[in-house]
Amino acid sequence: MFGENGIINGAKNAKEKTDESIKQEQEDVGKLVNQLEEFERAGLPDTVKEAIQKGTIFTVNKQIKDENGKTMTVPKGFKVKEGTTIDEGVVIADSEGNEFVWVPCEEGEYKKHDYEVEQVDDSSTIADGENNDKGWTTYRYRKYSDWKDDEIDETANKKSVEENKGFYIARYEAGVPSNADFYVDESTSDKSYKDANSKDTTKTKTGENLKPVSKAGNQCWSLISQINAKEVSGRMYSGDTYGVRSQLVDGTAWDTVVTWISKEYKDIEKNSIAYGNYQNSIEENQITVTNCLFAEHLIKYEGSQKKGRCIAKSYKYGTFISGVTDPYKVPEGEGVNYNDYDSDEKYTYKHYVEMATGASNSTKLKNIYDMAGNMYEWTTEYGYHNIEDNSTKYAVLRGGSFEAEGILGSISIREGSCSAAGPYASEEIPTLGFRVILYVK
């Protein structure tokens, strides 16, 4: 039994031979798969123009070129929809119509913004630079070194960007999927702002299998915590059907996109009023949009002091003008949350318009819509206001909102005043949304 030719040694030798055989088979299968993938790649378009003309859905990841010789990787499961050059922003789409834009990254370009001046306590909105003249504003972001990205594989993300020379960002703010019980569209007779009055922060407001969408003219997915935004973003593309990993946009990716955009749109990191839906758009960059979903929320004022928010009870479909109307008294039938409405004559109200995704080409930068204004957007960045007290985890919002001003809520702002678990403790906030990004696998 135990000798050189015994049963035990015989079994060991058999196992080793079996293991070697299995290993060899796996290597052979791997080689065959690689050969098949190369064969598939050879039959796919080689250029952006050709890919758009053919409308091919790629069966494997493949690198293609634009007319200037710059490269991008089209992932498995997507087609190239539009865009002449990579510098202008090339759009891909999946079979369900979700759209993403390629963000090119040369060596060293995929990085967070390096602040010139560290703000120990930025309890007001403070811009970067010795004279606060650089843009890249922060609000309650505290020491920059104390904030970091959470629950993402930074090594894998960086490796993907280095190998593929870029990544994808959703063309639109995250939209509510049509199978959600709070979804509305222009054909829905009941356009109620569903679930807007729920302050239960334990709710994911996601359902079992809900995934965000990246489509034009869609209801924005707001009233969601950063924790839940991370969950549903990772759910958008999983498994082997697509050649990407999806996640909530991280701080490095957001900064990289802003830097890329600012090369063409000068000083946008300082003041984004010309490219977003802001509360002062009506004064400086009024946007008129027709045939679109929108919601008119109200802010209650006593003199110049904000006293509360009245969330719209319903969406409207038609024409709207961005920005805030003049103060006025709220008449009956205005569609506001009357529990928050006080008819006392000392109060006045202003309209704040939330618009559907991609409603206006005025908000498009590099083929990406609404990174400035409309919705603050959660990122994976988080930190604590007091390092000695970690009881509340704050998550970072980017890009301003329809309640912010273009210069105070610019595309580059880091807003760190909201809890990651949910901002609804004292009031409902319909200005907080999110955006998905894709890293090529």
Backbone φ, ψ for residue 416 (5° rounding): -115, 35
Q: What is the pLDDT along the chain (441 residues), one digit of tens a residue?
A: 656 666 656 655 665 666 676 676 666 566 666 777 787 899 999 999 999 999 999 999 999 999 999 999 999 999 999 999 999 999 999 999 999 999 999 999 999 999 999 888 888 899 999 888 999 999 999 888 889 999 999 999 999 999 999 999 999 999 999 888 778 887 766 666 654 444 333 334 555 678 999 999 999 998 888 998 999 999 999 889 999 999 999 999 999 999 999 999 999 999 999 999 998 876 667 788 888 888 888 887 787 787 777 777 778 888 888 876 655 555 444 444 434 455 556 777 777 889 999 999 999 999 999 999 999 999 999 999 887 778 899 999 999 999 888 888 999 999 999 999 876 544 567 899 999 999 999
Backbone φ, ψ for residue 257 (5° rounding): -65, -45
User: The whole model's pTM is what?
Assistant: 0.88
In angstroms, the CA 69 to CA 252 distance is: 26
In angstroms, the CA 51 to CA 43 distance is: 11
Contact 117, 129 (CB under 8 A): yes
- Domains of the chain, by residue range, sit at 1-42, 48-92, 138-279+362-440, 281-355
